[in-house]
Structure 1
Amino acid sequence: MRPDSGMDLSLLDKGAHSASYFMLTRGMGPDADIVDFCIPCNPYFPTPEMFATLADNLTTILKYYPSDATSITKQLAGVLGLHPQTVAMANGSTELITWIDHLLIKQSVAVPIPTFGRWTDQPLETGKRVDMFLLQESEGYALDLDAYQQFIRDRGSRVAVVCNPNNPDGGYLPRRNLLRFVDGLHDLDLVVVDESFIDFVDAERCGSLARDAAIRPNVVVLKSLGKNFGLHGIRFGYLTANPALAERVGKALPKWNLNSLAEAVVYMIKDYEAEYRESLRLLRRDRTQMAETLRLVPGLTVFPSQGNFLLVKLPPGQNGTAMRDYLMSQHQVFVRECGNKLGMTSQFLRLVVRPRHDVDRLIDGMLSYGRYLRGEDSVGGHLVVHPASRTASHTAREAMVAH
């Protein structure tokens, strides 16, 4: 079911990953007003003042060569309070995943699924054996670390991966439990903890293993600055590990693999730490409010999350691909349908946490889609809602507004 909106909905079918915002806006024209619930981004950071500073210096930033990666990494490590020899910085966390696969994964890797697709796709593309540990919907996609460790031993996996929080469900593992897990696998070639979304966690104050990785023989922790800072377009991330592992990855990276925009932001971070912390507070508030609001949608299952996104399961008989297309074509709301994620079906959507007014637009679209499925009339591209359906949806909206 693909409503006729004049846009090319095939743009949404991009295989393992979603279409870019630029691709969609080019396809929809200059008047497109897309609300992006697909790409996990921080809507409150950078601040308008930061963007204004970058804009004022854009000519210089784009015209001149950046510093080498070693210099930028040293600055970042200083801001984060890490030893620079334990940090390797790259053009996005995906670049680091690629190099980890090429340099440090030799035979096999264990990965819980569903999770971020590059952790399965990248080693499969280079001929590695990927041992997939299936997380269960009935258990809320929670990762049982003891069962996972036994699975690794039974399969003889030489590398283990954990995303914390996990993507797409936002499940979180307490630091104490995860540290016990990695120490129990000290004889493996490598244990990777992908913490791309850990700054959004409020379950405990300091959940990162970044500093622990620096003093362990086989642990690498990944971080994504683009996701945390709301700057996906810059493409920058880093890893922490003991100096030998960090150097091995760092030496494989090009000397000038970081662009001038990334350098400019790294040098701005220290002056905007308070604003960044406030952005995280606002986003955590929005996550709670958005989850409560979504639970008022009839038949929708909302999974608990510590990320900046929420996993939802659609009611029986509804299909995520069809809803995605409907929301985009009729409401210009872009959502992530999870049917192409290993371990999931198209009945699931991952929805990025956004401010309340954007959530209202999403909810309106989802309720409208429910009426559309019930076969109510559509005239000139606009729904004609029957009185009974209008009453039901109005009641749901009233409940959400009152809430």
Structure 2
Amino acid sequence: MKKEISICWLRRDLRLADNAALYHALKGPYPVLLLFIFDKNILDKLENPGDTRVTFIHDVLTGLNKELEQHHSSILVKYGTPETVWQEIVGAHHIRAVYTNHDYEPQACRRDDTLAEFLASEGITFHTFKDQVLFDKNEILKGDGTPYTVFTPYFRQWQQKLEEFYYKSYPSQKYLGKLLHISRQQVPALETLGFLRSAQEIPSVNFEDKLEDYERLRDLPGADATTRIGLHLRFGTVSIRKAVSEAIRQKADKWLSELAWRDFYMMILWHFPHTSTQSFKPAYDNIRWRNNETEFKAWCEGRTGYPLVDAGMRQLNQTGFMHNRVRMVAASFLTKHLLIDWRWGEAYFAEKLLDYEMSSNIGGWQWACGSGNDAAPYFRVFNPELQSKKFDPDQKYIDRWLPEYKQKKHVQPIVEHAFARERALKVFKTALNV
């Protein structure tokens, strides 16, 4: 007779410490089998066989398996679509309950709804928990019960509600003795998944010693003063509770507000899932984009003739990261100067960014375009040259990522700023009927 077990499905929470779903699973009545699925639905959409994010996940899983050996357990790692993998697993084990953490992206929500129905038909309970945000989708609402769509009042409420209860860690490691005892499971080779090992550098998981610099220098791309924690929050190798706790301990108020922006965008995407493909403000879908493919290619390759934009795109293409200030300038340039659909830029960032998170990326792009909730107004058009003078006055950032500029070999601007601004205002006014 098969042993009764629970399964804890790891997804965007690749850690054993301070993991909500794992904690609740281990506190349950059955031994817990850890599961991770390399989702074919997601991997098949990745065009780069050397995608660093896949290498990162592979390495993290390998490390976790080594850590689990001392508890006589392992992670069952599968490759396939969740639908087929779950049918296989349910057939192979006597599962009584499945535990996992909430996801907020539209496709993930549909996946979880489908799984919940399937598990219910098999008599298996399905439990999901808040883990990747500090405040869940319905925990910060206006007085009338509707979601905030402007950040400032949302953040005010977020701060007022903030107390230790919300960022106290789950002692999941304390109960690892409840894991199912199994021999070490092999993580499928990257080649089996259709990928190659990436040699790209992975940012450190340590962010604590960067917070002081962040408060002072966060807007200067040449200062390298950001924490680079995005990748680790995206895949859950660092808990949001640990990040918030450290921000409070160090009184890093600006950084804390950035973590709140992340919660905010997750909440917006969950309440308004159409924003993953459409403008939050419907009128912006009336914009007649130029969508010039040659100019888009020049933007992607960092050949627009605007040094700050081009340096940012070179940094992105080479490292999988771009400084946030430069992301705003690059996004504004694409949507306003070149009149190219924000969705084109969002998709390019999704392909390249190691820290890509759908909610924040879409939120950022719609902010820059003006189409989002609480976005920059349509008539705000960043001047890349003024942004360079203000935030990279010594050209440290530009010199690093665009050495030909210093050598006077940089390409000429693809479009003149004043002309592009007037063109954008005309097109936007027509679409918005203002």
TM-score computed with the length of structure 2 as normaliser? 0.32
Structure ranking higher in helix proportion: 2
TM-score computed with the length of structure 1 as normaliser? 0.33
- Rg bigger for which structure? 2
